[in-house]
Amino acid sequence: MKRFLKVEDIGDLKKALQDAVEVKQNPYAFQELGKNKTIILVFFNSSLRTRLSTQKAAMNMGMNVMVLDINKDGWKLETEMGVVMDSDKPEHIKEAVPVIGQYCDMIGVRSFATFENKEDDYTEKVINQFIQYSGVPVISLESATRHPLQAFADLITIEEHKSKARPKVVLTWAPHPRALPQAVANSFAEWMKEADVEFVITHPKGYELAEEFTAGVEVEYDQRKAFEGADFIYAKNWSSFKQYGQVISQDKDWTVDEEKMALTNQAKFMHCLPVRRNMIVSDGVIESENSLVVQEAANRVVSAQTVIKRILESL
Amino acid sequence: MKRFLKVEDIGDLKKALQDAVEVKQNPYAFQELGKNKTIILVFFNSSLRTRLSTQKAAMNMGMNVMVLDINKDGWKLETEMGVVMDSDKPEHIKEAVPVIGQYCDMIGVRSFATFENKEDDYTEKVINQFIQYSGVPVISLESATRHPLQAFADLITIEEHKSKARPKVVLTWAPHPRALPQAVANSFAEWMKEADVEFVITHPKGYELAEEFTAGVEVEYDQRKAFEGADFIYAKNWSSFKQYGQVISQDKDWTVDEEKMALTNQAKFMHCLPVRRNMIVSDGVIESENSLVVQEAANRVVSAQTVIKRILESL
Amino acid sequence: MKRFLKVEDIGDLKKALQDAVEVKQNPYAFQELGKNKTIILVFFNSSLRTRLSTQKAAMNMGMNVMVLDINKDGWKLETEMGVVMDSDKPEHIKEAVPVIGQYCDMIGVRSFATFENKEDDYTEKVINQFIQYSGVPVISLESATRHPLQAFADLITIEEHKSKARPKVVLTWAPHPRALPQAVANSFAEWMKEADVEFVITHPKGYELAEEFTAGVEVEYDQRKAFEGADFIYAKNWSSFKQYGQVISQDKDWTVDEEKMALTNQAKFMHCLPVRRNMIVSDGVIESENSLVVQEAANRVVSAQTVIKRILESL
């Protein structure tokens, strides 16, 4: 495997899940693969789970890890081509990225959507520059439009907790005080479409995700109806794709609470974290026995290690 | 050992000092214990000695180390219960802490007193949330009211440099331009009460420490009188406990200088660092042969490693 | 080797280049030397290449690495002697440095010229305090007046890419929007004087470097004339030494472009990075086959590892 950005990069999901089980059962069994290999984790944005879980995954593999908060530790990067660099950005991504590639065997990159330019975000300008210029395999630690390590961890978590062969999984929008990227929702949709689940998305009108992620998926605008019979409720806020990056609703009627969870088939509650309590989800639901948010986060080590292991095997 | 916050957590001090000697003599002898074990050091506040010495201690034990400056690298944490999270704090400590616990075998936490709320500080609200929610052993890297790794290192240093069985140890307040927590002074008092020393505290009126740390300890308001016959002078500033967090004196007459040190029994000078020269202590005293400030700092590796070793043994 | 600040510290350059070749060919062959040894990298300033390449070099040697962004992670340091420390700087360098020295076997330090005081900068006040007070070997990660790991990497790169025994190497000033230190230019001059090359410096009048670095070196004020027959063009901006720290020209006629490179003997283009495109150098030149900027950056691991190896051998 030479990169990990989207569901296609992992290939067959059943095989990926088998690999994940193997990694989870024997996390320290593959350290010969990682010996004297180095991963650099490059952050353009804040990170708690991704930062720690990916470090942990790489250390489990016996690798060396370097973490770079690039705008803070290094130099602000210019990403435009052909500019006269007389602004506050002293380094061009066309130098920085190949140089980083010289110091490691693979790169993990986090670079959120900026909402400045929909096309730049949806063509994945920044992470594609890492792929194009680094010369080494690139792992997305959340790009402008996708968060594949999260979606893979979510899939592992659903597999571990499902009580029927083909569970009903509902992705529900929920309110939030700020404009968030669509990345987690996009990836979750992309992965659930490929997984062996019944998948439904529910959100207020105007919050439709990009067609490339949701083509063929059932969208139900009535949240309560969507919840009926659900085995997993996956909550997430995102800003509008159509009115790009805009918050067009903060309707608290979409908060996931006990009354709505009662409509489901004793569904498990999922969220990628960080989560705004009593906006996205009530205290009662997130603290209930059916909440899987910590288990999902724990599985971030498993998804990252499975991906890193595959890349090491292909070096 | 499942936690390290206060003197009781270390048990018998004589045994602890024996363990420290063993660790100091053979720092790399215990790496099998730490193999494939991970510590995460979480900082809410700045740190030089604690950051480096605890990393060094863990690496000496063969462990993996991750450092997280949580407000800077991760997300600002909400610590109140039951709130609607629509402010600038995107993550709740009730999610963040159990997640961090999933990525490691033990957590070190630094979280200073904020002086916003005396009760929150003195009930150790933040570090207790780490104990309650993390699921793994917690080591204080200085909490709101205590700095036990410092006090343990101080005890080791006194043990190494004492010239009589039961030395006289004086904790003296000294002036400082800002309001500082009482943590170092509290812990030092707590540890000295248990140690085999004659212990005296001296400070201006109004700077009495909390009763739970000083019950039974002699307080002498005349600094010069307190210094008479002292074998160790331990200087530290703290803000008022009674007028909580207030600076009620900046009296330079309390600065430790050569003239006052001459009243002692050729006492060694100690301070936890960082220290304000010519506020807390004169250049002459801190640069004298009797100054132990660097040795104390060096012993921070020993105290941390002794504590980490005990926790590893109990996993 | 006990320190690495200037060209004399490395001794014979031919031998140094041989050592570099050995390290580059077998980067993981010397890990017994580094086992249980620790390097601390202390940054007063931003860093991308130096941060990552020196970490990589130390990890290649099997060492433990700690990175400290001292003003951000630790405490702001007072560097003046004899002051009453009642300002915003809570720690004195005379405490901080010996303490850091207690936690490691060697220290790397980055501390740029501040331009506040020419004498402080040119007497290397900060890094000399690390040498004086740390008690362990010190490696410059760029000091006020020199960047020796860069110059050593540049020498290695020239050695690898030269097509004649004694190539012509031209250091050219080029425009930049901000006032930069002279460190890279100083070190490059210092090393090229000792190397087996024909060395010429070109810059506008007023940009003469300090005599201690350039004594005996040919200075040609006509950039085009200097470029004639050159085998290597090394571009760099620096601020004026005479009008200390001032930007006295931003003349774009000094930008290195294709037309000027055509005057050379198919010269290779070099720059230490980060580089301002279309200020220092045109897109066309830096993206040409003759550009060695990424190779130079890659050789930063080699120069750092060669230096670290020598220091480990002398411990």
Q: Do domains B3-146+300-314 and B150-296 have the same CATH topology?
A: yes
pLDDT at residue A72 in the model? 84
Strand arrangement, sheet containing C232-236: C218-219, C198-202, C168-173, C232-236, C268-270
**Taking CB atoms and an 8 Å limit, are C98 and B294 in contact across chains?**
yes
- Residues of chain C with Cβ-Cβ distance to B294 below 8 Å are 95, 98-99, 102
Nearest chain A CA: its distance from B91 CA (Å) = 5
pLDDT tens-place string over residues C120-162: 999 999 999 999 999 999 999 999 999 999 999 999 999 999 9
A188 neighbors A173 (Cβ within 8 angstroms)? no
Nearest chain C CA: its distance from A90 CA (Å) = 6
**Taking CB atoms and an 8 Å limit, are B70 and A48 in contact across chains?**
yes
Check CB contact of C88 with chain B, cutoff 8 Å. Answer: no
Q: In whole numbers, what is the pLDDT of chain C averaged over residues?
A: 97
Over residues C272-293, the mean pLDDT reads 98
C149 neighbors C117 (Cβ within 8 angstroms)? no
* A45 contact partners, CB below 8 Å, separation of at least 6: A110, A111, A112, A142
And the tokens for B47? 């740190």
C48 neighbors A70 (Cβ within 8 angstroms)? yes
When pLDDT is cut at 50, 70 and 90, the band that residue B73 belongs to is: confident
Confidence check: pLDDT of B143 > 90? yes
Q: Which residue in chain A has the smallest CA separation from B134?
A: A294
- B261 φ/ψ sector (left φ>0, alpha ψ -120 to 50, else beta): alpha
Confidence check: pLDDT of C170 > 90? yes
Q: In whole numbers, what is the pLDDT of chain A averaged over residues?
A: 97
Over residues A206-215, the mean pLDDT reads 98
Does A47 show up as a binding residue in the annotation?
A: yes
* C233 contact partners, CB below 8 Å, separation of at least 6: C170, C172, C227, C256, C261, C264, C267, C268, C269, C270
pLDDT tens-place string over residues B106-139: 999 999 999 999 999 999 999 999 999 999 999 9
Check CB contact of C293 with chain A, cutoff 8 Å. Answer: yes
pLDDT at residue A129 in the model? 96
Percent of chain B surpassing pLDDT 70: 100
Give the side-chain half-sphere CA count within 13 A for B109.
29
Over residues B236-251, the mean pLDDT reads 97
- Residue spans of the domains in chain A: they are 3-146+300-314, 150-296
Instruction: Centre a 10 Å sphere on the Cβ of residue B295 and count the other Cβ atoms it contains.
Output: 16
How far is residue A102 from each of residues A96, A105, A168, B45, C57, measured CA to CA in Å? 10, 8, 46, 34, 12
pLDDT tens-place string over residues A149-198: 999 999 999 999 999 999 999 999 999 999 999 999 999 999 999 999 99
pLDDT at residue B71 in the model? 84
When pLDDT is cut at 50, 70 and 90, the band that residue A33 belongs to is: very high
C78 neighbors C104 (Cβ within 8 angstroms)? no
And the tokens for C84? 């009453």
pLDDT at residue A238 in the model? 98
- Angle formed at CA B237 by CA B236 and CA B242, multiple of 5 degrees: 125
Confidence check: pLDDT of C74 > 90? no
Does B150 show up as a binding residue in the annotation?
A: yes
Check CB contact of C86 with chain B, cutoff 8 Å. Answer: yes
pLDDT at residue B35 in the model? 98
When pLDDT is cut at 50, 70 and 90, the band that residue C262 belongs to is: very high
Q: In whole numbers, what is the pLDDT of chain B averaged over residues?
A: 97
When pLDDT is cut at 50, 70 and 90, the band that residue B162 belongs to is: very high
Q: Which of residues 91-150 of B touch A (CB under 8 A)?
A: 91-92, 94-96, 98-100, 102-104
B306 neighbors B20 (Cβ within 8 angstroms)? yes
And the tokens for C273? 């990075």
Q: What sign has the CA pseudo-torsion B240, B243, B244, B248?
A: negative
A152 neighbors A203 (Cβ within 8 angstroms)? no
Q: Which residue in chain B has the smallest CA separation from A271?
A: B95
Nearest chain C CA: its distance from B228 CA (Å) = 26
C189 neighbors C238 (Cβ within 8 angstroms)? no
Pick among 3.40.50.1370, 3.40.1160.10, 3.40.50.11440, 3.40.50.300: CATH of C150-296? 3.40.50.1370
Q: How far apart are CA C312 and CA B44, in angstroms?
A: 35
Instruction: Centre a 10 Å sphere on the Cβ of residue C255 and count the other Cβ atoms it contains.
Output: 21
Over residues A64-81, the mean pLDDT reads 92
Q: Which amino acid is at B27?
A: P
pLDDT at residue C72 in the model? 84
Q: What sign has the CA pseudo-torsion A171, A173, A174, A177?
A: positive
Q: What is the CATH number of domain C3-146+300-314?
A: 3.40.50.1370
And the tokens for B133? 């929610």
Q: How far apart are CA B283 and CA C97, in angstroms?
A: 16
pLDDT at residue A250 in the model? 96
Confidence check: pLDDT of A75 > 90? no
Nearest CB among B38, B85, B91 relative to A56 is that of: B38
pLDDT at residue C71 in the model? 84
Q: Please tell me which chains touch A, using 3 or more CB pairs under 8 Å as the contact test.
A: B, C
